[in-house]
Amino acid sequence: MDSKRWSRTGFLAALGAGAGALALPADAALMNMINQRPYDWGTPLDELGRSLYTPNNIFFIRSHMGPPATTPADTWRLTVDGLVEHPLHLSIADLRAFPKHEVPSVLQCAGNGRSYYGDAYPDASHPAGAQWRTGGVGNARWAGARVRDVLAKAGVKSTAHFSTNFGRDNPVLPTTPKFVRGIELAKLMDEDTILVYEMNGAPLPYYHGFPVRLLVPGWAADHSVKWITNMTLTEKITDAFWTGVGYRYPNNIGKPGVGVKPNVEHPVTVLNVKSIITAPATHSNVKVGAPVTVNGFAWSGDGAYATAVDVSTDGGATWLPATLGESPGKFAWRTFTLTWTPKAAGSARIMARAKDNRGAVQPMKSPWNPGGYVWNGIHSVDVEVSNA
């Protein structure tokens, strides 16, 4: 579990007066508080496991600066400028005039699983940042306008290769760099990269970027800028802090615990193949001879998709193939299930290992990196088996 689950009273008190007037997720008390400021709220595994699509009211929330003041949808504007023939200043009505496109997709924080690096590499320095375990991920149906349709209207110049994207959220402290992300134009032109105004069939919630956010499916969520206001096309990628220094991964993996200079790193982009077990819960009790259903989700990144999940109920000594559910789309996760009947009392470790259509296999542990990014080590839960 990511941190502790709060009571509703404690949760609301922790938000403080600055957010008191803002609409909260209806079931906020079901979530886990990772950070109070900026707001980082994780979705517990048991809540994730209830449905293929994560409900909006319990979908994880990751903030870098804390949410901005609320913006009435009719006053929002998106500016598209830089290396374009016709700079745009689009209203929400303008955006809705483009063909609507829906993308079922996993959204996962780049740091989801960061806490596991401390477990896997106890002799190395622990990566700093929000200490997510499993709660920084969700799966939703996102809908909006394709970015490439918007850029076609703007007229992209041949010298444009990147976009610098800005959101409305501002730093809590004046010394903190504003969250600005650079991204390759080629990825923005993907048919499934969209400017989102609906999430799971409802208007995009406030904490998820209302009224409009970017969705870059298959890539870590730091690219999917919330509360987006500006897209500036450039020839070279921005060197702003959150692209030039933050959210970077070593070009060559070195010794665990040793820092790496940003100039020998590259931006975090593609999600790794991964699976998580949503049931049974860790530390739960099961009975000898009574069937236990092992459930979870599996996914991969950048258009790759999970094709198999193997499950072990003996700590990795042996593995059995799980049954995969239908895939709702190449960027979405799939369910997996396996029925296990314990034969002996004692402690048992259940593990899941996913594979994707490009041949990638989930490793026992991810390579250590200074940012603690893209953890996809094999997920396990420990249960106690008792005699019936």
| Closest by Cα among 4, 173, 195, 178 to 99 | 195
Structure token digits, residue 149: 């349709």
Q: Is 149 helix (H, G, I), strand (E, B) or coil?
A: helix
Percentage of the chain with pLDDT > 90? Answer: 82
Superfamily name and number for 73-267? Oxidoreductase, molybdopterin-binding domain (3.90.420.10)
**pLDDT at residue 12 in the model:** 47
Q: Are 188 and 162 in contact (CB under 8 A)?
A: no
Domain residue limits, the chain: 73-267, 274-386
Q: Do domains 73-267 and 274-386 have the same CATH topology?
A: no
What's the token pair of residue 229? 């206001």
Question: What is the C-alpha to C-alpha distance for residues 128 and 248, in angstroms, rounded to an integer?
Answer: 13
Q: What is 274-386's CATH number, 1.20.120.1750, 3.40.50.720, 3.40.30.10, 2.60.40.650?
A: 2.60.40.650
180-184 and 162-167 as β-strands: parallel, antiparallel, unpaired? Answer: antiparallel
Q: Convert the pLDDT of each residue in 67-87 to its tens digit.
A: 788 778 899 999 999 999 999
Q: Is residue 66 very low, low, confident or very high in pLDDT (cuts 50, 70, 90)?
A: confident
Q: What is the 3-state secondary structure (H, E, C) of 342-357?
A: CCCCEEEEEEEEEEEC
What pLDDT is stored for residue 20 in this prediction? 36
Quick: pLDDT tens for 14-37. 444 333 335 555 577 889 888 877
Give yes or no for residue 305 having a pLDDT over 50. Answer: yes
Per-residue pLDDT band for 38 (boundaries 50, 70, 90) equals: confident
pLDDT of residue 34: 86
pTM, entire model: 0.93
> Is residue 13 scored above 60 in pLDDT?
no
165-206 pLDDT, tens digit per residue, is 999 988 877 888 888 999 999 999 999 999 999 999 999 999
How many other C-beta atoms can be found within 10 angstroms of the C-beta atom of residue 100? 14
Evaluate if residue 388 carries a pLDDT over 80.
Answer: no
The pair phi, psi for residue 295, each rounded to 5°, is: -120, 160
Query: Locate tokens 């995009």: which residue?
Result: 204
Q: Which residue has tokens 């860790």?
A: 282
From 222, 255, 235, 264, select the one nearest 373 (Cα to Cα).
Answer: 222
The residue type of 104 is: P
Tell me, what's the pLDDT at 40? 87
State the distance between the two ends of the chain, measured CA to CA, in whole angstroms: 28
